[in-house]
A and B are shown apart, each in its own frame.
Chain A
C-alpha cells in the first residue's frame, strides 16, 4: 500500500515499502526520514556502501538505483519504493568479481579502500551511461567520487580498462554486443 493524501493516517511513522536490493525483494517498514544509505547500512547490514560526508559531496555512498548511480545519502528510502538497488555487495556473481571490481584490483586503484565501493558503483554507472570515451571524460564523469588517498590515476586506468572490455561482460544488462 502506498501512502496517499487520502490516507493521511498512513503517513506518520513507519511506512511499508517493497524494494529489491541486489536481486532480493524486501518488504520493509521504514520511517520517512530514513535515507537509503541508512536503510542499507543500519537496517539491512549491507555495510559495503560507505557513509563519508553524508552530504552528497564525496560519493562514498554511491549505489545504482534502477541502473543509475546516485548518492544514497541524499535519497529517502521511502521514495525508492518499488525500485531495484544494486550495491557493491551485488556486483560479484557466482564468486566472480564484476569486471570493474577485477580492474580495480588489477590496477591497484585504491589505498585505504574507504571510497572504493562508491568509486566502483560510480564506474559501473558511468560505463552503463556510455558518455565517456576518453580518459579526460572518465576523469570528469568520475568527479563525484573523492579519493583522499589520491589513487585517481590508477582509478582512471581501471575504469578505462573495464570500459574497453565492457562488451565481454555478460552481466551488464545494457551492454551492446
Chain B
C-alpha cells in the first residue's frame, strides 16, 4: 500500500473541503478502497475517514419513504426490520452479496461507489482504460467471461459489481449528496454512467461531492418481488447475471413493473420500454418473454461472455415468474424454482 496522510472528518462540510484535493479519497468501510490500494490501482495521498459522521441511521422520508444514511452498513440495512418488511427486494439483494464479514463493514455509500471487478482493472501490469485512460482495453479480445453485454463501448466492457445497486435501480432510489455547491439529489438511473469514451468515470458525482443518504420512495411491490442472482459458485461470488424485479399486480393485471439487471453492464441495466410493455398486461410467460427481449435489445457478446445473453433472457423470465407468483428467490436455499 502507498503512504498517505489520514484525517478524521468532523462534519460532512469538512469532508467536502478535503475532497478539493483530487488525490484524496473518502474512506468508510474500506472494503473496496483498501483492496484496490493493495493492488496499487488506487493511490490516494490522503484518506478522509467519515465513519464518525452521524450518517448511520434509517429514518422516515417525507412522503412515506425511507432515508438510509450513507454509513449504514450493508448488514444493518439488510437486517433492519423496516427494510426487511417494506423493501424485501433490497434486503434480499444485500444478502446475495459479499460475505457476512464484508457486509458488517461495507456501507451504503461505499457500495454505490464500488469499482468494477474486471481482472484487468485490478492488474496494473495490463492496459486498462478505466485504470489508465488511453492505455487500451485488455478485456476486448482477452478473457471476458464476466464482462458486459449491454451498454459497453470500444473503450471498456467492464460491469458494475454491486447487488445492492441493482435493487436500488428497480426501487427507483434517489441518492442525496453534498458538495462544494451545496446539496443535490440524483435519481438512481442517472447515478452510474456508461463507459463511452471516459470509462475512468463511474458515476455522475462531481468533484468534491459526498454521498450522505439514499432515499427510497414509499413501498410499492408487496411480496411481488425477487432478486435472482446467477454466479459461478452458490455463495460469495459476483453475479454473472442478476435480475431485480418488483411488480404491482391487481386483478390479474400488472399495474406497475420495474426490472433491473446486474452483472451485464457498466451500471444497473433498466429499460423503461421493457417495463411499460408489461404494464396493463397479464403476467404470462409470453409477456415475460417479450419484456426480456426488450430489456436485452442490443445485447452483444465479446466471445467468452456470449452465454450471458441467453442466460439473462432466461433469468429475466424466471425472475418475472417468481415475482408474479410472490415466490421471491431465497438467498439461503439457492435452488431456483
Interface residues of A (CB under 8 A from B): 2-5, 8, 11-12, 15, 31-33, 35, 54-56, 59, 62, 68-71, 74-76, 78-79, 122, 125-126, 129, 131, 134, 136-137, 139-141, 143-145
Residue from the list A11, A31, A71, A139 in contact with B31, Cβ < 8 A: A71
Residue from the list A33, A54, A75 in contact with B4, Cβ < 8 A: A33
**Nearest B residue (CB) for A8:** B7
Q: Does the CB pair B10–A74 fall under 8 Å?
A: no
Min CB distance A130 to B, Å, is 10
**Nearest B residue (CB) for A68:** B104
Q: Does the CB pair B100–A136 fall under 8 Å?
A: no
Q: Does the CB pair A5–B7 fall under 8 Å?
A: yes
19 contacts between A and B (CB under 8 A): A5-B17, A5-B18, A12-B5, A32-B4, A33-B1, A33-B3, A33-B4, A74-B35, A76-B6, A76-B34, A79-B27, A79-B49, A79-B51, A125-B100, A125-B104, A126-B100, A131-B79, A144-B101, A144-B102
B residues near A70, Cβ cutoff 8 Å: 101, 104-105
Q: Knowing A71-B105, A144-B99, say if A79 contacts B332 (CB, 8 Å).
A: no
A residues near B235, Cβ cutoff 8 Å: 139-140, 143
B residues near A79, Cβ cutoff 8 Å: 27, 30, 49, 51
A135 vs B229: C-alpha distance when bound (angstroms): 21
B residues near A62, Cβ cutoff 8 Å: 101
A residues near B307, Cβ cutoff 8 Å: none
Residue from the list B2, B35, B47, B331 in contact with A140, Cβ < 8 A: B331
Q: Does the CB pair A74–B100 fall under 8 Å?
A: no
A55 vs B236: C-alpha distance when bound (angstroms): 14
A69 vs B31: C-alpha distance when bound (angstroms): 13
Over the window 232-249 of chain B, the binary record of Cβ atoms lying under 8 Å from chain A Cβ atoms (1 yes, 0 no) is 000110000000000000
Q: Knowing A5-B14, A131-B79, A137-B332, say if A56 contacts B7 (CB, 8 Å).
A: no
Q: Does the CB pair B30–A74 fall under 8 Å?
A: yes
Q: Does the CB pair A74–B105 fall under 8 Å?
A: yes
Min CB distance B5 to A, Å, is 4
Q: Does the CB pair B7–A4 fall under 8 Å?
A: yes
Decide if B333 is an interface residue (CB 8 Å cutoff).
yes
B residues near A35, Cβ cutoff 8 Å: 34
**Nearest B residue (CB) for A31:** B3
A residues near B302, Cβ cutoff 8 Å: none
Q: Does the CB pair A55–B35 fall under 8 Å?
A: yes
Over the window 1-24 of chain B, the binary record of Cβ atoms lying under 8 Å from chain A Cβ atoms (1 yes, 0 no) is 111111111100010011000000
A78 vs B49: C-alpha distance when bound (angstroms): 10
15 extra A-B contacts, CB within 8 A, seeds A11-B5, A144-B98: A3-B8, A5-B10, A11-B46, A32-B6, A69-B100, A71-B105, A79-B30, A122-B100, A122-B101, A125-B100, A140-B332, A141-B100, A144-B101, A144-B102, A144-B236
A69 vs B75: C-alpha distance when bound (angstroms): 11
Q: Which 4 A-B pairs have the closest CB atoms?
A: A144-B99, A143-B235, A32-B6, A143-B236
